[in-house]
Amino acid sequence: MQDIIRTAGLTKAYKGVPVVSDVDLNVKKGEIYGFIGRNGAGKTTTIRMILNLTKPTSGHVELFGETTTDKNMYNNLRKIGAIIESPGFYMNLSARENLDIQRLMMDASDKASIDRVLATVGLSEEANKRVSKYSLGMRQRLGIARALLHKPELLLLDEPTNGLDPQGVVEIRELLLSIAAEGTTILVSSHILSEVEKIVTRIGILNKGKLLEELSKDNFQTKCKQTTVYKVNSVEKAATLIKQYLSIDDLSILGDTISFSSIEQVGNAKLNKILIDNDIEIIESKIIRSSLEDYFLEITGA
């Protein structure tokens, strides 16, 4: 699969202090790549270097299979839509007027593209309202509409859900999934890991300017621990049976609850039957999978 973005040894230092260090990033065609890290980890600086808005101290960027230069970056930018930090607008103008200015700046003659992107982000009915009357979530969606105006192959979004209420976060999530379904490659940076986990196909973990790991969602789910939890009326008896049946040593007991690492080949239905056949009442049974947040905290040593 083609790499749409590839960086090699990408480094940025200010007054000798590195904020991004030796980052090798690979974003493949058609995927939603989650670029995650704490605030201040270097995500925005990395995106600015990808867009040639900030020159790297060392290393280089490849876009669409060729190394970025000042000469080819203009053509590359015509294939890219981006929001870095908060999108800015002419607040006294309507959404339609803001998009028409962007259309002219991008030298796009197709006025129908304005209606297309407004429909994509769900703002058709609000198209003639002044942006000053828009909520934060509506402005974020308008920013994405502006980034999509010229039908980019690649969309770069820096913290697109910052400051949004729960409904706004869900709207942006669903919007990104629909955009990706149409074939657009998306890199989305965020520190809100619970949201990233719901939409990405691959993840890059940045910590203190260093890329610790890149992994697919399937690989991440394989690495995440799963814990089986039982709440029963006879905890000691149940624990003995579970140890005997599963041959495990990591079982723990807290009150009337037993927990242990899930083992794939063990069916919960079979274990339930063993407990019930031994007159143990199962009050509750569940499997808890570690989240991306759990994995992030583990790998960063937080």
Q: Are residues 216 and 88 in the same domain?
A: yes
Question: Are the C-beta atoms of 96 and 103 separated by less than 8 Å?
Answer: no
| Residue type for position 106 | M
Q: Which pLDDT score, from 0 to 100, does residue 52 have?
A: 92
Q: Are residues 160 and 281 in the same domain?
A: no
Q: Which pLDDT score, from 0 to 100, does residue 27 have?
A: 95
- DSSP lists the bridge partners of residue 284 as 231
Question: Are the C-beta atoms of 44 and 198 separated by less than 8 Å?
Answer: no
The string of DSSP letters for 152-209 reads -SEEEEESTTTT--HHHHHHHHHHHHHHHHTT-EEEEEES-HHHHHHH-SEEEEEETT
Q: Are residues 86 and 123 in the same domain?
A: yes
Question: Quick one: how far is CA 269 from the chain centroid?
Answer: 35
Helix (H), strand (E) at residue 241: helix 235-246
**Residue 73 CB partners (closer than 8 Å, separation 6+):** 52
Rg (alpha carbons) of the chain, rounded to whole number: 24
Q: Which pLDDT score, from 0 to 100, does residue 63 have?
A: 94
Q: What is the pTM of this model?
A: 0.80
Domains identified in the chain, total number: 2
Of 290, 123, 125, the closest CA to residue 222 belongs to 290
Q: Which pLDDT score, from 0 to 100, does residue 187 have?
A: 96
Q: Which pLDDT score, from 0 to 100, does residue 162 have?
A: 77
Q: Are residues 245 and 217 in the same domain?
A: no
Instruction: pLDDT tens for the chain, 302 residues: list them.
Output: 688 999 999 999 999 899 999 999 999 999 999 999 988 899 999 999 999 999 999 999 999 988 988 888 888 888 999 998 778 899 999 999 999 998 888 776 677 889 989 998 889 999 999 999 998 888 988 998 999 888 899 999 998 887 778 888 888 888 889 989 989 999 999 888 888 888 999 999 999 999 999 988 777 777 777 788 889 999 999 888 888 887 777 788 888 898 887 665 556 777 888 889 999 999 988 888 777 888 888 888 76
pLDDT tens digit string along 25-60?
A: 999 999 999 999 988 899 999 999 999 999 999 999
Q: Are residues 139 and 208 in the same domain?
A: yes
Q: Are residues 110 and 163 in the same domain?
A: yes
Q: Are residues 52 and 180 in the same domain?
A: yes
By residue range, what is the domain housing residue 242? 224-298
Q: Looking at 222, 244, 277, which one is the last position of a domain? A: 222
Q: How far apart are CA 276 and CA 55, in angstroms?
A: 66
Q: Are residues 278 and 180 in the same domain?
A: no
Q: Which pLDDT score, from 0 to 100, does residue 93 have?
A: 95
Q: How far apart are CA 120 and CA 175, in angstroms?
A: 8
Q: Are residues 236 and 185 in the same domain?
A: no
Q: Are residues 107 and 17 in the same domain?
A: yes
Question: Quick one: how far is CA 226 from the chain centroid?
Answer: 22
Q: Are residues 211 and 240 in the same domain?
A: no
Q: Are residues 63 and 178 in the same domain?
A: yes
